[in-house]
């Protein structure tokens, strides 16, 4: 499942730099996460780094983009070229 930033985002900029997949970018009003690039940091870290650094706790699992750990691992391998 990819993650989603809610409208409680204060645009503090800390999450974007922490994303190893480059899935986070500035949207029209708040930061957004590209579900095609978000692996919840599977393959990189044990926990999603954006969630770890978010000062307002506004990043949650996106139910519209449900994925298993295995699917996230496959996405990680596709994005990084690792297998």
Q: What pTM does this model have?
A: 0.92
Q: What is the reported pLDDT for 82?
A: 76
- Give the model confidence (pLDDT) of 40-75 as tens digits: 999 999 999 999 999 999 999 999 999 999 999 999
- Give the model confidence (pLDDT) of 4-28 as tens digits: 999 999 999 999 999 999 999 999 9
Q: Tell the CATH topology of 3-80.
A: Alpha-Beta Plaits (3.30.70)
Closest to 43 measured CA to CA, from 3, 74, 14: 74
Domain boundaries, the chain: 3-80
Phi-psi map region of 44: left, alpha, beta (phi>0 left; psi -120 to 50 alpha): alpha
Instruction: Calculate the CA 83 to chain-centre distance.
Output: 21
Q: What is the reported pLDDT for 83?
A: 63
Closest to 62 measured CA to CA, from 23, 28, 26, 12: 23
């Amino acid at each position: 499942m990819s993650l989603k930033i809610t409208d409680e985002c204060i645009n503090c900029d800390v999450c974007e730099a922490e994303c190893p997949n480059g899935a986070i970018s500035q949207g029209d009003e708040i930061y957004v996460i590209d579900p095609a690039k978000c692996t919840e940091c599977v393959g990189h870290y044990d926990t999603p780094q954006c969630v770890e650094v978010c000062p307002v706790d506004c990043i949650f699992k996106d139910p519209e983009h449900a994925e298993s750990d295995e699917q996230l691992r496959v996405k990680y391998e596709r994005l990084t070229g690792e297998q």
